[in-house]
Structure 1
Amino acid sequence: MAKAVRFHETGGPEVLRWEAVDVPEPGAGEVRIRHEAVGLNFADTYFRTGLYPSPLPAGMGVEAAGTVETVGPGVEDFAPGDRVTYTGSPLGAYSTERVMPAEHLIALPDEIGFDTAAAMTMRGLTTAYLLRRIWPVAAGDTVLLQAAAGGVGLIFTQWARLLGIRVIGTVSTKAKAEVAHAHGCDEVIIYTEENVAQRVRELTDGVGVRVAYDSIGARTYASSLASVARRGLLVCFGTASGPVPPIDAMQLALAGSVYVTRPALADFIADPAERRELAAELFGHVAAGRISIEINQRYELSDAVAAHRDLESGRSVGSSVFSV
């Protein structure tokens, strides 16, 4: 029988349960997938805590890679035996197998392993829209990236280097600073020891950065905003330390007519053609070795409680996956 991680109430990691589940035959437009690897993302904790509401009881996780077992009526783009990956709703990726809409699947090239796909589909597509869609950054631009040693950070810095973009990254420890440097970060600020905005201004001759990318949220948004150059952009794409508080419009004027956006990956991969285009660029870099995906933490699916505790403690570096 299939098994899955589910939660019946919101709360800490301890609410996650490892349960036997029934997996039905796929209906119209659906497929049944046997998972080979499952992604662990900080966004998973938002569903578990209730920050992102979902009907209960609920499955957990939005990213996995595996093999199509059967397809339902009307599915034409996939067949049994196809290698696929995905990221996005509905919840339920923390499972050995599941049924889900075929429209969310992305064909996985043979050159990319299941573990690699589960470690980078969400993070890689997030990086893709941050660098290729949300703002016209170009060679010679300088940007700030909070959490430069995180899962998105390590992909972002490598991709930015390919584009000729200078990255000033922030991390919490010296050990993470070394990791960020090794993956292409040009300058690293240890935010627990230095004033981020002040250091950014020093590194940019007082100008600031064209774009500040912030996935940490409450603890860092103020330093990110203070680091942006006149008419630049603050991208708040995550809330690892808590939601960003309301920003008064006058703050943006005083900061230099700065723009602010709070994007979501779902809105950049909703169009199937755009999703395929972004995935193709990502997979191309990874398959060619231009971007490396390092899996630094591995867990069994039954160890989801421990995995979430590690994730929220800040002990994790780079990408984490569950083996199935």
Structure 2
Amino acid sequence: MHMIRFLLVISLAALTGCASMGIGSRPMSELTENYTNESSRFVAVDDLVMHYRDEGQGPVLVLLHGVASSLHTWDGWVEELKDNYRIIRVDLPAHGLTGPDPALDRYNINYMVEKLDKFLNKLGVSRFSLAGNSLGGYISWNYALYRPDRVEKLILLDAAGYPQDMPFIMNFAALPVIGEMSQIMMPRYIVSMNIHAAYGDDDKVSSELVKRYHDLTLRPGNRKGLVNVFRTMKEQSQNPDLGARVGQINTPTLLLWGEEDQWVPLTVMEQFRRDLPNVSVITYEGVGHMPMEEIPVQSARDARSFLQTGKVFTLPAATADGG
């Protein structure tokens, strides 16, 4: 059944033409020209050269994107918050312009947390607030356990953290043979299908957004790296002790969650709410897995309220993303 479904998807993708089939890689020179700006920097952390952006002034806020995404997912937050914060966002290993670590075939949480710590050491950043979405949220709360002395406040947006079913496309791409096929070919249609599934409002999924996600998937090595990330997540997602240490996080924490999230559902949020000793919660009606993309103004303002006061203040829904 899975193979039949995959072949149907591939057939639909083929109708859009060979250019969108995602065969071959995009040159790094082209991707760097299109997806860096004057705030982009690169730094070597061990054997991995990591792409990041360092913008704004004020207390440091570190932002971690989700699986199969990139630092660009935070564009709206940066526009809203850069006048009040120094914002550091990074392409995680196997993602964006950073790309895969050639020495790895699994990206376990210890590796991700230690890589983040070394990255921040390189930048000389020792005290900051930390926000993460999805996989980035999983890394964020584990980092708060690893280095509680460094994290002032923690914001988790639709974060992974408890046993759950994997999203279909990630579970499917992690399968033997299918995963190897995905390393060769990543059709734009599949990327578009993923983004539509992650959003609560399909009308907010633009062709430019799909192009960016697809282009960065085609960075040399990223398809193989992402399959290895999916396989790591699949192994971890069924660990009954996955969230066993959440209750040890004493950092003040804000949960921001889309009520229409099909990837990390509200049942996961409720487990975080139950276990975190110092937690505030905001959920967004009609929003999916990535509130910082779907409703950047409202979610950023809710984050700023929490960062500044430790409390949350929600704007009326009718005006929240009106600027």
**TM > 0.5:** no
Higher helix residue share: 2
Taking CA–CA contacts closer than 8 Å with sequence separation of 6 or more, which of the two structures ends up with the larger relative contact order? Answer: 2
TM-score using structure 1 length: 0.31
TM-score using structure 2 length: 0.31
- Larger radius of gyration between Structure 1 and Structure 2: 1
